[in-house]
Amino acid sequence: MGPTKFFEYLGAPLKNSRWSWGAVRSDGGVFLRTWKDEVRTLGDDTHYLIFNEQPASKGKANLGCNERRRHIDSVIAGAPCFLVMCSAEDVDAHPRRIESFDEKNLIVGGEIVEVEGELWIKADGLASIDAVRTTSARKFGEIENVEVGEKFINRAELAKAGVHPPPVAGISGNKEDGADSIVLSGGYEDDEDLGETIIYTGQGGNESGKQVADQELTRGNKALAISFQRGLPIRVTRGAKHKSQWSPTEGYQYGGLYQVAACWHDRGKSGFKIWRFRLEQIGVSTTQAGDSQSAEPATLNSQGGTSNPSRRKTTTIRVVRDTALSKNLKQYYDYRCQVCDLRLEGPGGAYAEAAHIRPLGRPHNGPDTTDNILCLCPNHHWLFDVGAFGVADDLSLIGMEGNLVSLDGHDIDHEHLNYHRQCICRV
Q: Is residue 298 part of a domain?
A: no
- Is the same domain home to 161 and 119? no
**pTM exceeds 0.85 for this model:** no
**pLDDT value at 382 more than 50:** yes
Name, of 47-56, 70-79, 127-136, 184-193, the range with top average pLDDT.
184-193
**pLDDT at residue 333, rounded to an integer:** 94
Q: Is residue 318 part of a domain?
A: no
- Is the same domain home to 225 and 107? no
- Is the same domain home to 121 and 7? yes
Q: Which residues contact 357 (CB under 8 A, 6 or more apart)?
A: 366, 372, 373, 374, 391, 412, 413, 416, 417, 419, 420
**pLDDT at residue 297, rounded to an integer:** 40
- Is the same domain home to 218 and 273? yes
Q: Is residue 206 part of a domain?
A: yes
**pLDDT value at 23 more than 60:** yes
User: Is residue 286 helix, strand or coil?
Assistant: strand
Q: Is residue 328 part of a domain?
A: yes
Q: Is residue 146 part of a domain?
A: no
Higher pLDDT, 317 or 337: 337
Q: How far is CA 317 from the centre of its chain?
A: 19
- Single-letter amino acid, residue 426: R
- Is the same domain home to 123 and 19? yes
Q: Give the structural domain span for 45.
A: 3-133
Check: CB of residue 325 under 8 Å from CB of residue 301.
no
Nearest to 282 by CA among 371, 197, 396: 197
Check: CB of residue 52 under 8 Å from CB of residue 68.
no
Q: Is residue 224 part of a domain?
A: yes
Torsion region of 352: left, alpha or beta (phi above 0 gives left; psi -120 to 50 gives alpha): beta
What does DSSP say about strands 273-281 and 252-267: parallel, antiparallel, or unpaired? antiparallel
Nearest to 83 by CA among 112, 105, 113, 61: 105
DSSP characters over 69-123:
HHHHHHHHTT--EEEEEEEES-TT-SS--EEEE-SSEEEEEEEEEEETTEEEEEE
- Is the same domain home to 165 and 252? yes
Q: Which of 226, 260, 286 is the last residue of a domain?
A: 286
Q: 296-326: per-residue pLDDT in tens?
A: 343 433 334 444 444 444 434 344 445 677 8
- Is the same domain home to 113 and 166? no
**pLDDT at residue 29, rounded to an integer:** 83
- Is the same domain home to 7 and 48? yes
**pLDDT value at 115 more than 60:** yes
- Is the same domain home to 218 and 169? yes
Q: Is residue 303 part of a domain?
A: no
| End-to-end Cα, the chain, rounded Å | 66
> Where is average pLDDT lowest: 78-82, 355-359, 382-386?
78-82
- Is the same domain home to 64 and 187? no
Q: Which of 74, 105, 133 is the last residue of a domain?
A: 133
Bridge partners of 391, per DSSP, are 397
Q: Residue 401: in which H helix or E strand, if any?
A: none
- Single-letter amino acid, residue 361: G
Q: How many C-beta neighbours within 10 Å does residue 299 have? A: 6
Q: Which of 260, 286, 312 is the last residue of a domain?
A: 286
pLDDT band at 383 (very low <50, low <70, confident <90, very high): very high
pLDDT band at 288 (very low <50, low <70, confident <90, very high): very low
Q: Is residue 372 part of a domain?
A: yes
Q: 168-182: per-residue pLDDT in tens?
A: 788 988 887 889 999
The pLDDT mean for the chain works out to: 83
> 243-273 burial by CB neighbour count: b if 16+ within 10 A, else e?
ebeebbeeebbbbbbbbbeebebeebeeebb
Count up the domains in the chain and report the number. 3
- Is the same domain home to 169 and 235? yes
**pLDDT at residue 101, rounded to an integer:** 93
Biggest alpha carbon–alpha carbon distance for the chain: 86
Q: What is the DSSP letter of 5?
A: H
- Is the same domain home to 341 and 377? yes
**pLDDT at residue 323, rounded to an integer:** 63
User: Is residue 132 helix, strand or coil?
Assistant: helix
